Amino acid sequence: MDHSLTPPSLSSIVEKDVAQPEEQELNEALQRSRKYWYSLASLAYAQRDHGLSPDAIDPHYALHKVPKFQARPKKVHYCPLGFSPHLALCLEASSTWKVSASTNCDGLKSEMSRFQLLQLGSADSVPLTLMGEVFSSWIGVITETFSSSNYLGILTLGWCYILSAHLVELRGEGAFMRYTKSMASNSGNPPLDCSSQHSLDIGEVDEAVARWWLAILAPGEGWEAFVTREPQDFLAPWSISRNCETSFSIRHQTRSPKSTSAPLSSQQAFQALAEFSVLHQVGSQFSIALAAALTIPLHKYCGSTAQLPFPSETSKRLTATPDAIPQAWLMLFEELPYYMTLSCNPELMISMFCGSFWDLGIPCNLVTPWLHPALSEVMRDSPISAHDQEILALMCAVRRPNISALWFGAVTSGLGPTIVVRVRSGMPPLNRNACAWTGYPQSFMDVPGSGPYTCESPEYILRSDVWRLLHLPNNTGNDDLRFRFRPATPWKPCGRSLTKDCALRVTSHLECERHVYRYEHWTWELEGNVVLQDYAFLHGISTSKRSSRAYALPSLPAVPVSFEEKKLDVDQKASREASFTIFHWLFINGEGLPPEKIFQDDWIRDTWDQEESVLEAGDADNRESREPDGQFQDRVQSWLDTIP
């Protein structure tokens, strides 16, 4: 087995200018893809057996250019979000992009802004269970020698409270926390409607901390975090409601008495959770639980139930002391506002996860053979098993190491099947800011390409470059809305075009250096007409406290793994969908039917007979946030039109 982890480039396999590959070409693409995915899976199995790199469990690396959350916006808006039937409370912010000075030309706008709505509140809580099987036996880090207890589910519950309490504190007036009447038990008697009970040792704590644990482990909702109560109740996005399949009781020794009337602050709750984690030597589970909690708003967005692993305990423990909390954990709390920004953008989060399967070397007509080994052969079962979800996360952690902790958190919370379904379609959700915030491209449109735009005689240009040049914001003001929105699929168009067949807005740039728009900053509009330009996490961190570097993968012995080779999907749905969408992008922007032969291919030709209906469907399914011109209400309405 070749253990090279360099993704294959499949662009040169189909030599003719056609959309549908021939059988021989499909087989070649499939074999190259198998070689890569099988090697990647071998490394994933090695990590599962030997443990993770310490860097792999640190969510800090994902922050890159993520801005610091601001909870007091000038205006809030009530919008549907994802597949939730209820309105969400959202704030508006925007990203600014500037053309690189070395690639500027008179025909381009020097700067552009793109607006984005971030979730500030939810109309109801996210359903959650402790019946998940993924990482029910946590892998751990190579350097760890701790016990085999698993507290990922319990720790995630605690982090949801901490995130919610911190948001309430940032919101200030009108926002508040409260405990409900629902509580865990101090005794061994489960409620009548619960079939079993689990007792949790929380160590030596004061009464305020004990009351907090009773709320955290309560059936249903043991606490509530109200962001606002006007014009209706909106809860913090990390609010959860636990199904009562098991009741919990706590065991503890009482420290000095303390008032229990007020809910713990985010700092106090963090201290309580960290001391519990030191007591039970949870190690790397502490940060992975934060990553899992960050995916809770994404479950609301996708209409899924969070499923966390049930706690498993051993008798071994240490006594917590105030100075025993690791510095890396303390930094997690210090960086919490950055994690909150990431988490409150579920559209970006799902784009980030699905983008782990995208690669620049894969054209639209070979998406099916590219994805097939990973999703149908390495992933052995349907529906996807817990084992396969763990391997999935480990493979994607290799492909996108800086977001590896978020990947482990996502599958721990039960998002694995949702991500696979979105990727398998060939039409994964896209968000423009995901590349800027995390440092990983999500689409060929995030990559400017290299070298001259044209080659050979007669003169040709790659279609991927044609699409990039069409999307450039021109400075003429004549057709500002044309090609304003990116394609709704990340896969690049196959083949190349004669320059004589290209539109003027393409040919006018053929002699230019490659044009590059770079992310400049994030803009928050806050109360009191304050406009805050946020240059993101890496701009303001103290490098003495944290390293901003990407980490290297550990060198591990290969694990030989064999996979059953399965036949490709006859319909090649992913390739068909990607090819249809990327070529139809020309039509929906008013370009009409180009003269090139490829547009007569069956995969593409049929679309021209259904132009109006397909245009409507394409608009409804475009998952990238759109940024139309005009007044804000017009922009919001256009944004609403993009919600599936």
User: Can you give the pLDDT at residue 611?
Assistant: 54
Give the pLDDT confidence of 296-321 residue by residue, as tens digits. Answer: 999 999 999 999 999 987 755 555 55
Do 241 and 220 meet the contact criterion of CB atoms below 8 Å apart?
A: yes
The domain locations on the chain are 121-347
Q: What is the mean pLDDT of residues 53-65?
A: 93
- The per-residue pLDDT for range 501-559, each reduced to its tens digit, is 888 889 989 988 888 899 999 999 999 999 999 998 765 443 333 433 444 555 666 67
Token pair, residue 119, equals 């979730």
Closest CA to 377 of 565, 559, 569, 572: 565
Q: Please give the pLDDT value at position 604.
A: 85
Q: Report yes or no: 352 and 419 within 8 Å, Cβ to Cβ.
A: no
pLDDT at position 147: 59
pLDDT at 481: 65
pLDDT > 90 in the chain, percent: 64
Say if residue 637's pLDDT is above 80.
Answer: no
For 133-165, the pLDDT digits (tens) are: 999 999 999 888 765 789 999 999 999 999 999
Over residues 371-375, the mean pLDDT reads 96
Does position 245 have pLDDT exceeding 90, yes or no? no
- Could you give the count of Cα atoms lying within 13 Å of 265 in the half-sphere of its Cβ? 6
What are the structure tokens assigned to 403, written together? 């977001």
Contact of 311 with 157, CB cutoff 8 Å: no
- DSSP secondary structure string for all residues of 302-343: HT--EEEEPPB--S------GGGS-HHHHHHHHTHHHHHHHH
556 or 124, which is more confident: 124
pLDDT tens digits, one per residue of 486-499: 999 999 999 999 99
Per-residue pLDDT tens over the stretch 569-622: 888 999 999 999 999 898 888 777 778 889 888 888 765 655 545 444 444 444
Query: pLDDT tens digits for 189-228?
Result: 444 444 567 899 999 999 999 999 999 999 999 999 999 9
Tell me how far the alpha carbon of residue 7 is from its chain's centroid. 21
Overall average pLDDT of the 353-379 stretch: 96
Q: What angle do CA 631, 636, 642 make, to 5 degrees?
A: 135
**Is the torsion defined by CA of 258, 263, 268, 273 positive or negative?**
positive
pLDDT of residue 458: 77
Coil, helix or strand at residue 283: coil
pLDDT range class, residue 419, cuts 50, 70, 90: very high
Rounded CA separation 170/163 (Å): 11
Is residue 2 pLDDT above 60, yes or no?
Answer: no
Confidence band, pLDDT 50/70/90 cuts, at residue 341:
very high
Q: What is the pLDDT of residue 605?
A: 75
Rounded-to-integer distance, Cα 333 and Cα 409, Å: 17
- DSSP, res 378: I
CA angle 148, 149, 155 (to 5 degrees): 135
For the chain, the 3-state helix, strand and coil shares in percent, each to the nearest 5, are: 40, 15, 45
Question: Average pLDDT, stretch 271-276?
Answer: 96
pLDDT tier, 286 (very low <50, low <70, confident <90, very high otherwise): very high
Residue 617: per-residue pLDDT? 47
Residue range 423-482, pLDDT digits in tens: 999 999 999 999 999 999 999 999 999 889 998 777 999 999 999 999 988 776 555 567
